[in-house]
A = this chain, B = another copy of it.
Amino acid sequence: MEPLAPTCSPAEHPGVRKQFPMPGTLAIERASRVCRALGEPARLRLMARLAGGECCVTELAEAEGEELSTISQRLRVLRAENIVVRRRRGKHINYSLADDHMSDLVSTVLAHASEPVEPVLKDDQQTEEEAKA
C-alpha cells in the first residue's frame, strides 16, 4: 500500500512541472461517472440517437432491435448520471439529452473516433528536435 519514495531527483524530469491545479475529488468522481456511463457501445449509441431528437423507450428499443427492458436499464444508468432527462407524453415517456454539454461531449468523442489514427509521430519515438538535442 505505501508507495516507496522515488530516488530520481526533480532535476531529472524536464517535463512541464507547472503543478496544474488538480480538480477536486468530487469533480473527478462525477466526471468519471459520466464517462463510464458513455463507456459502453450500447449506451453511447442511445446517446447518439437521442442527439437526433427525443425518443420514447419503445422507439429506441425498436431502433436498436433490443428488449424494452434492456433499453430501460440503459436509460436508467444514463439518467442516474443526469446525462438524459425524461418527460411524460401521455402514454409514452420521452427521453432526451440533459443539456448542450452532453451533445458536445458525444459529438466530440465521436468525431475523435472517426478520425484516422495520426501516423505523424508513433509511440516511443522522439521528435526531430529532440534527436539533435
Contacts and interface: CB of A to CB of B under 8 A. Distances in A.
Given A39-B37, A41-B28, A89-B14, A6 B48 contact: no
A113 B27 contact: yes
Identical chains bound together, number = 2
A109 B35 contact: yes
Nearest to A37: B39
Q: Sort chain A's interface into a size bin.
A: 35 or more
A71 to B, nearest CB: 9
Given A32-B39, A35-B36, A86-B123, A13 B56 contact: yes
A49 interface: yes
A50 B82 CA distance: 27
Interface of A: 1, 3, 5-6, 8, 12-20, 22-41, 43-45, 48-49, 51-56, 58-59, 61-62, 65-68, 79, 82, 85-92, 94, 96, 99, 101-102, 104-105, 108-115, 117-118, 121, 123-126
